[in-house]
Chains A and B, each alone.
Chain A
Amino acid sequence: MRGKGGKVKEKVRISVSGIRGRVPDAFHVELVSQFASSFATFLDSGTLALCRDGRPSGHMLEMAAVASAVAAGCDCTCFGVLPTPLLQFLMTRESFSGGMAVSAGHNPLPWNAVILLNEEGRYLETSEGAEVFNIHEAGDFRKAAWRDLGHRNHGAFPMEDYLEALGEIVDVSRIRKARFKVVADPCNGAASSCLERFGEYFDLDLIVLNDHPGRPFPHPPEPNEENATQVEAVVKATAADLGFLLNSDASRISFVTGEGKALSEELTFPLSLLALKGRLHKIVTTTSTSYLADWACQRIGAELIRSKVGQSGVVHAMEEEGAEAGGEGSGSFVLSSFSHGYDALLSLSLLLDLATRSGGLKEIVAPFPTFWRKKLKIDVPPWETYRLMDRLEEAYAEENPDIIDGIRIERDDVWFNIRPSTTEFTLRIIVEGRSEAAVEAAQTEIRERVRI
């Protein structure tokens, strides 16, 4: 694992956030085949739903997954290039025993991933994941005899049902009347092919950039301010009402105002909450999400609960707590009455709905309190992470750190969360405070302490 100068050479991450890695050196058909066999063995029987996000390696990895699931006796229904949240939506309405999404979401090329979904379309819970990984390690795959092999079918996603379900949450006629002009950047990802129909349904004047799945990503597929330059420019040039960016499987979204100014992805979650004012009582977010979530929950009179970082942590905490919605600062939002997956098009619909009532995006975010935020990524080899986190916990012992995921420290004017990423070999650090100075000071302090 240790490469030159302590750099990480092998790049695979295996957790309930998916089995992901760099194609082809670390992440390849054999690995995917083994995990698909393990997962199908875990499920035992029934039909799996599959989709992918349009990365060049997607079809290949899907074939490996299908061959393996079929060999373990599970049927496979393949929906081709489709956003993962749409598959998750379908899984709440049709009966599948599980799902596999071949998509690395926000990871750059040439990464890819296989995300395992339970029968309701949720990311696997930690204990479910552990069972799959145990089967994998034991190599104890179910082998169906020739007459019991599964079958592979092609599925057609019911886009109209999906749009109608969105239409039950938002006020479609008001949105249609508003005739919004919107600039979209699906980053050559899975949503490329369904945006046109989405635009028609809501009567949008939609300008779509980067809508060729299979082509290289025009920028890292992470929706945030840094990657929004192109959308900002097009919004200005076309005098659009707003713009947005998606990650490759359309589970995350960030917005650009009509003035051509990108908003932080941290705003997506609170915006979605505000749009649902009066309909939500209990919300889950992670230990790494902005105060804006607390603020938004106060505004709409809902209780906020914090969970582990990542879609698996949030959706399972929602189920346990009976929460109606959840989300994260990465631009993610999930509404349990709609589906059990982060869905960018749901957030988009909610924002359009909000805009019909509260004016332009700039006006909507005007009352948001100003917090200063800094997100840092520090590369740490996995074999250093353990001791480092231990040291940090000791160092902050007096401040009673919250250890749901990494450590979270709360002070009067600032909070921060330091945790190992589940999708990359980095330490993710988020600092948020009421003043720039407080954030700077905390950041300097963390950098000192993390130095390895």
Chain B
Amino acid sequence: MRTSDLKISISGIRGIVGQSLTPQLIIKFAEAFSTYIGGGDIAMATDTRPSGEMVKSAVSAGLLSCGASPLDLGILPIPSLQIYTREHRLDGAISVTASHNPVEWNALKLIKRDGRFLYPYEAEELLDFYFQGKFRRVEHPLTIRSDDRGFQPHLRKIKECFDLSAIRRRGFKAVIDPCGGAAAPYVSRFLSELGVDVVEVNTEITGTFPRGPEPLPENLTALSEAVKRSGADIGLAQDADADRLAAVDENGDPIGEEYTLALAVEGWLQHRRRGPVVVNLSTSRILDEVARNSGVDLIRTKVGEINVTRMMARIGAPVGGEGNGGIIISDVHLCRDSFGGMVMLLEHLAKSGAGLSDLKRRLPAYSMIKEKRSVPFRKRKAIFIRLLLKFPKGKRETSDGLRIDYPKFWFHVRPSNTEPVMRIIVESESTETARRVAEEIIEEI
């Protein structure tokens, strides 16, 4: 059995430029989207990958073919695109970004009128259109428009949501690292407006990512150095499409994406409206602790932004997110938003008067191991069964792969939606335990 690096799934279409992701596929996919939503105004934005222009041209052709009017927003963070789509009452949007995947990848992500991703059942309907290849093409295509103020609605929503005076009064110094990605044209000015003295790392757009595009600690050495050198209060790293955020403390130590989410949520719950918190099944137990401290419920969902935001909407949760640094503030928009996340962290620092390392120290220390292994498709089921036999006593959760919770540790093993691999996450208070459990799991795989 073989699998393809091309991934056509409910998350969109994703592949390697020059191999699987051809202009023909992209055109067809845009045609399917335009047919499915019945034309109308559809925004398009890219990150800074060199293939973005090619993909966007193909997307425009496909959208026009089936009666839509494409609106080109240029390079724009994905949360900004989502907010623009809702605020301008567009009919939908296509984001051209493979977010944290390496530079040779690209992808289309599909956004609805409400600025959120398609529900799985909707995406399945669209895929049906795509695979059948029967599109509602028009005789008189519309024209392509463009708008270079794509970031404005996002900025406006953040200003409406937060009282920024505490942050301004504190006069922070921050180092930013947008990885030469979609946030690069915007993030300096954004923080300057918050009265932040900004030091820039990797803000130049070269089309190649100067570091691994995931905001993982090992990718943040340049940021850490710059924080130390400049004596900044905080270092802030975004991924290529600017939905994820990771922070570096004032000593130049990366606090980890899990703590980034935890501290942002803690700040919100302490200084703002309380309410239940929603995170995914792969997110750290630190969040349970943060919720418990504020006396609110913590609810877990399947992995994937749309699953978290759906639950947040259903129960009226003010904040939520994913442990990989995806912070969601429902008053801004139901999407992962690194810009909103920055404001939450800065506000927490300003109002608590503490440093980032202090805030982290007050939270329990957990050790998390994240691994991935490629697994033949047909062997996946067998692996779950073997793991169930190996860890028979823990609390099981099987809605998204397999999560098993023991008092001293938990793990989550699930097939990735974006890469042909199984993702393995293990967390424990003891590094030793986490490592041992991870080894046992990998052995079974």
A-to-B contact residues, CB < 8 Å: 23-25, 28-30, 33-34, 37, 56-57, 59-61, 63-64, 66-68, 70-71, 110, 141, 143-152
Contact = CB atoms under 8 A, between A and B. Distances in A.
Contacts of B103: 146
B97 interface: no
Interface in B3-25: 17-19, 22-24
Given A24-B139, A60-B64, A152-B53, 6 more contacts: A33-B27, A64-B58, A141-B22, A145-B17, A149-B51, A149-B53
Nearest to B137: A24
A41 B218 CA distance: 41
A28 B136 CA distance: 11
A331 B144 CA distance: 35
Contacts of A63: 57-58, 60-61, 64, 144
Contacts of B19: 143
B411 to A, nearest CB: 35
Q: Which 3 A-B pairs give the minimum distances between C-beta atoms?
A: A24-B137, A67-B58, A64-B61
A426 B80 CA distance: 54
B26 interface: yes
Nearest to B62: A29
B138 interface: yes
Interface in B47-79: 49-51, 53-55, 57-58, 60-62, 64-65
A165 to B, nearest CB: 32
B17 A68 contact: no
Nearest to A32: B61
A33 B23 contact: yes
For the residues of A in contact with B, the DSSP-based class is helix
A141 B17 CA distance: 13
B24 A57 contact: no
Contacts of B24: 30, 33-34, 37, 68
B50 A28 contact: no
23 contacts: A29-B61, A33-B58, A59-B64, A60-B60, A60-B61, A60-B64, A60-B65, A63-B58, A64-B27, A64-B57, A67-B26, A67-B54, A67-B58, A71-B23, A71-B58, A110-B139, A110-B140, A141-B22, A143-B17, A143-B22, A146-B103, A149-B50, A152-B53
B137 A28 contact: yes
A212 to B, nearest CB: 14
Contact of A145 (B61, B104, B138, B144): B104
B113 interface: no
A56 B57 contact: no
Interface string B129-147: 0000000011111011000
Contacts of A25: 137
Nearest to B26: A67
Given A67-B54, A71-B23, A148 B61 contact: no
Given A33-B61, A146-B18, A146-B49, A59 B27 contact: no
Contacts of A143: 17-19, 22
